[in-house]
């Protein structure tokens, strides 16, 4: 019963922690369906979801403003943190908090220290992310479910699992076509790397 309650709490929390994209949680079957469609196992999907919730809780307990101005993506224990914080010390604090969560294997802290133009870029960044996600969804040669996209100040951050180099190149090419994209940073792993691990 304790496990069921914990799993329900995790799924419930994910509804609110998934960023601006609406998420509908239908129960364990929904997670299972997603895991079957992508390269991660069901166990890895659940582990990553748990890590994400624990990170969000740690950040929220430390600072509500930083909680609302940052975002995390977790794939196979690798964590990408994006967003903005007021000071360099806050950025360092985030790295320490994430490494303190059990199951984290790797941390990419791409949080920026807020400047005068930071807030004005938020709408543009959201539009870039939405456009790229739509391009990936419409491209039949890309398994879009294996990719996560975040945009901060015109820099597109890609995480996920590519079927091969050609697929990753298609994803990057789609990103390059979007107006406002300044840089593309890829933390994407090859499917072959996972199979050989």
Query: What average pLDDT values come out for the chain (197 residues) when binned by 10 residues?
Result: 44 44 39 54 90 96 94 92 89 88 88 69 86 96 88 86 95 97 92 70
Q: Which of 74, 7, 81, 6 is closest to 40 using CA atoms?
A: 74
At residue 192, the pLDDT reads 84
How many residues are present in the chain?
197
CATH 3.30.1340.30: which residues of the chain? 119-196
Count the neighbouring beta carbons within 10 Å of the beta carbon of residue 3.
Answer: 7
* pLDDT of the residue at 69: 93
HSE at residue 34, side-chain half, CA atoms within 13 A, is 18
Determine contact, residues 80/72, Cβ cutoff 8 Å: yes
Strands (E), the chain: 70-75, 78-85, 106-109, 112-113, 147-152, 155-162, 183-190
Question: pLDDT tens digits, residue range 140-173?
Answer: 999 988 888 888 888 998 988 899 999 999 999 9
Residue 1: predicted pLDDT: 45
Percent of residues, the chain, with pLDDT higher than 70: 76
On whether the CB atoms of residues 178 and 125 are closer than 8 A, the answer is no
Output the pLDDT for position 2.
43
- Taking Cα atoms as reference points, which of 154, 155, 14 lies closest to residue 73? 14
Classified by CATH at the fold level, domain 119-196 comes out as 3.30.1340
Q: What is the DSSP string of 63-96?
A: -HHHHHHEEEEEETTEEEEEEEESSHHHHHHHHH
pLDDT, residue 38, reads: 64
Is the Cβ–Cβ distance between 181 and 156 less than 8 Å?
yes
- Identify the pLDDT of residue 170: 97
């Amino acid at each position: 019963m304790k496990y069921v309650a914990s799993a329900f709490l995790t799924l419930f929390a994910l509804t609110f922690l998934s960023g601006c994209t609406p998420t509908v949680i239908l129960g364990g079957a929904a997670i299972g369906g997603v895991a079957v469609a992508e390269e991660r196992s069901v166990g890895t999907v659940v582990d990553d979801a748990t890590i994400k919730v624990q990170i969000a809780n740690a950040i929220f307990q430390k600072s509500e403003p930083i909680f609302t101005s940052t975002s995390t993506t977790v794939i196979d224990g690798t964590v990408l943190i994006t967003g903005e914080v007021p000071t360099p010390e806050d950025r360092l604090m985030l790295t320490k908090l994430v490494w303190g969560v059990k199951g984290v294997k790797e941390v990419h802290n791409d949080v920026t220290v807020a400047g005068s133009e930071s807030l004005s870029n938020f709408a543009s960044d959201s539009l870039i992310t939405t456009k790229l996600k739509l391009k990936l969804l419409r491209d039949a040669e890309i398994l879009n479910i294996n990719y996560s996209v975040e945009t901060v100040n015109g820099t597109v951050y890609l995480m996920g699992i590519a079927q091969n180099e050609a697929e990753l190149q298609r994803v990057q090419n789609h990103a390059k076509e979007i107006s406002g994209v300044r840089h593309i940073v890829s933390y994407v792993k090859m499917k072959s790397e996972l199979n050989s691990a």
